[in-house]
Amino acid sequence: MSPSKEPPRGEAAWKAAKQEIADRNEAAYARGRRERAARNVAWAKRRNEQEREANAQIRRSTAR
């Protein structure tokens, strides 16, 4: 095996492992931000629909 093909050892291995963990954490944070944004959009859409329905009911009840 040539030196460049050998797995890292010692501090280099520790730094590589630390970087892999940091990369996975960042990916998890990004996924969480996307999922949270999607939930917020869905919540806002439901809330707007509820408000429209409530306003329509008010208009129907006052039109009588």
Q: Which residue has the higher pLDDT, 4 or 46?
A: 46
Decide: 16 and 8 in contact? Cβ < 8 Å: yes
Residue 5 within any structural domain of the chain: no
Residue 43 within any structural domain of the chain: yes
Q: Average model confidence (pLDDT) for the chain?
A: 93
Q: What is the tally of structural domains in the chain?
A: 1
Residue 3 within any structural domain of the chain: no
Residue 36 within any structural domain of the chain: yes
With cut-offs at 50, 70 and 90, classify the pLDDT of residue 55.
very high
3-state secondary structure of 10: coil
3-state secondary structure of 6: coil
Q: pLDDT by residue (tens digit) across 5-53?
A: 888 899 999 999 999 999 999 999 999 999 999 999 999 999 999 999 9
Residue 1 within any structural domain of the chain: no
Domain range spanning residue 18? 12-62
Residue 26 within any structural domain of the chain: yes
Residue 6 within any structural domain of the chain: no
Task: Specify the pTM.
Answer: 0.63
